[in-house]
Structure 1
Amino acid sequence: MPKQPGFASRLRWWRDHKGLSQLELAARADISQRHLSFLELERATPSREMVLRLSEALDIPLRQQNALLVAAGYAAIWRQTDLGAPELAQVQLALDYMLNQQEPFPAVAVDRHWNLLKANAGAARLVEFLVGPVAPDTAINMADALVAPDVLRPHLLNWAEVTRYFIRSVEADAAADGTAETAALLERLMAYDGVRAALKAPASEPSAIPILPMHFRKAGTELRLFTTLATLGTPHDITLQELRVESFFPMDDSTAKTLRSWASNPPRRPRPG
């Protein structure tokens, strides 16, 4: 996106970004193509309501809707509330309920850049088994932990496959929100050793298993997990729109048995090697 663009250039960028013609966007927004053309050429000034209508038609995230409003000369309307704020107490309760319901299997809540916000005890046990204890209040980025060479990678047998799939999802995020922050995340992940090679590797033959598992092995223990992602419906807050809950499920009885046993007898950190 151009640096500090005005409303017209931002609007053109988003329309091109979404692959829409002026006629298609005008139809979606229920306005005339002539009016849209005038807006893109700065021959007309949009009302606040028009900015929001076009944002909805373009399916622009709330954070970027604020930027579009400011570029048009209006105040931002979507707030970004800290997850720990009192006004999000009910959401916090819902998140805690979701994470607790996933026990003894792992579950985490992350933001749009995969920074860890919350984790259940199952997730803490899994991390401690794989990489050792993590100090309280340590900032953890789940994307870096997965892709970097020295965190989860040594124990993830199908790292290349999982990373290839994950990087494609981050690319989709970068394409969807068009922000420098998400682009920077993608660039950082791509810079890790082995990532570009993993992306260039030929796709493996289709598996009989319909879901790509994460296959961990350490100290004779093997874990096969698949994940699901959940988001909050109809959010009116940037923090909530960008919130994701990732839940991990066992792919086999052996993994389920191990995770359940850890709930009553937490695993000891294996010796190196």
Structure 2
Amino acid sequence: MHALSADSRPSPPRSALPPGAPEIGVLLREWRAARRWSQLDLALDAGVSARHLSCVETGKAQPSRELVIKLADALELPLRERNALLVAAGFAPKYPESTLATPELAQIRRAIEFILAQQEPYPAFVLNRHWDVLMANAAAARVNGFVLGGRPMKHANMIRQFFDPQDLRPAVANWDEVAGTLIRHLHNAVAAAPGDAAARALLAEALAYPDVPAHWRRRQFDAAPSPLLTTILHRDGHELRFFSTITTFGTPRDVTLDELHVECCFPVDEATAALCRRLAAEAIG
């Protein structure tokens, strides 16, 4: 069956678009540009005719809900962006967005708390897609308190912590390396989600902090982030060296879970491990 006739089947009634919501054609073009795909590339991947896709992008044809889902699958969109694509086409969002405090995610929260506890005496954090620190274990507080001399963190966002000279930044011995990697991740996040205004604003804010190299304003296509980054924290002749692993949730069915990741820090050397153990013992008293 020709894809054009298949997509002309009756579909559920569409709701009115929210005020200011982008049309689906605009979103599709933005996502194709982010993926560097042509209309033909997307049409072949989604199993639709290039002619019909062109009509959808120009507003000459309205896609069915099934086609929107196929296009989102082909573009490998995050769940939030899949919802946005459905809403732009006039359909209700498919995926719920819950907070970790809701009963529906109680088991997930317990699993996260278990991961954080198991990481002791080394730091671990739970972050969302904009690097906001949602949860952390006691080791994270101890290590941050040590390198900051007991001063509390100024920000609850990891990007701001590393870029603000009034926060963690002075305690990072290899700041250029760590911050440069974070900037590359931010550039990639903005490019991968063209509709994410918060990510663009966070990138602009990070670049506006003092002494940020001017060339960081340009996305570096030939400089992939290092697969293993060591963060070196120092204070009064002491150094703590950590590398991190990232845990995400497979096949999430909730927007919140899709955007969460758990970052666990591990000591690079025995001196770091010993200092972390000492801080834990001192906290117990």
User: What TM bracket, shorter-length normalisation?
Assistant: 0.7 to 0.9
Q: Deviations over 1:67-102 (max 9, x none)?
A: 211111111122210111111001001101111111
Note the aligned Cα RMSD (angstroms). 2.3
Please state how far the C-alpha of 1:134 moved relative to its aligned partner: 3.6
C-alpha separation in 1, matches of 2:273 and 2:215: 29
8 Å contact from structure 2 (residues 34, 193) kept in 1: no
Provide TM-score, normalisation by structure 1. Answer: 0.88
Please state if 1:175 is matched with 2:200.
Answer: no
Q: Which amino acid aligns with 1:98?
A: I
Q: Which amino acid aligns with 1:147?
A: F
Residues 212 and 8 of structure 1: is their aligned pair in 2 closer, same or farther, counting only changes over 3 Å? closer
Residues 9 and 108 of structure 1: is their aligned pair in 2 closer, same or farther, counting only changes over 3 Å? same
Please state if 1:165 is matched with 2:181.
Answer: yes
Please state whether the residue corresponding to 1:140 is helix, strand or coil: coil
Paired residues for 1:96-107 under 5 Å:
96-107=113-124
Q: Deviations over 1:82-138 (max 9, x none)?
A: 111111001001101111111111000011111111111111111111222549xx8
User: Equivalent of 1:24, from 4, 25, 41?
Assistant: 41
User: Equivalent of 2:229, from 212, 229, 244?
Assistant: 212
Q: Which amino acid aligns with 1:182?
A: A
Residues 12 and 211 of structure 1: is their aligned pair in 2 closer, same or farther, counting only changes over 3 Å? closer
Provide structure 2 residue ranges, at least 5 long, that are not aligned to the other structure. Answer: 1-19, 218-225
Q: Deviations over 1:215-252 (max 9, x none)?
A: 11102211111112221111111111110111111111
Please state how far the C-alpha of 1:198 moved relative to its aligned partner: 7.5
Provide structure 1 residue ranges, at least 5 long, that are not aligned to the other structure. Answer: 201-208, 269-273
Question: 2:169: which partner in 1?
Answer: 153
Percent of aligned pairs sharing the same letter: 44
Question: 1:190: which partner in 2?
Answer: 207
Residues 180 and 57 of structure 1: is their aligned pair in 2 closer, same or farther, counting only changes over 3 Å? same
Q: Which amino acid aligns with 2:178?
A: V
- Runs ≥4 in structure 1, deviation > 6 angstroms? none
8 Å contact from structure 2 (residues 207, 216) kept in 1: no
Residues 198 and 30 of structure 1: is their aligned pair in 2 closer, same or farther, counting only changes over 3 Å? closer
Question: 2:248: which partner in 1?
Answer: 231
Question: 2:134: which partner in 1?
Answer: 117
Paired residues for 1:1-273 under 5 Å:
4-131=21-148, 132=150, 134=152, 140-178=156-194, 179-197=196-214, 199=216, 211-266=228-283
Q: Which amino acid aligns with 2:159?
A: A
Query: How many residue pairs align between the two structures?
Result: 257
8 Å contact from structure 1 (residues 110, 117) kept in 2: yes
Please state whether the residue corresponding to 1:266 is helix, strand or coil: helix
C-alpha separation in 2, matches of 1:57 and 1:265: 53
Please state how far the C-alpha of 1:139 moved relative to its aligned partner: 6.2
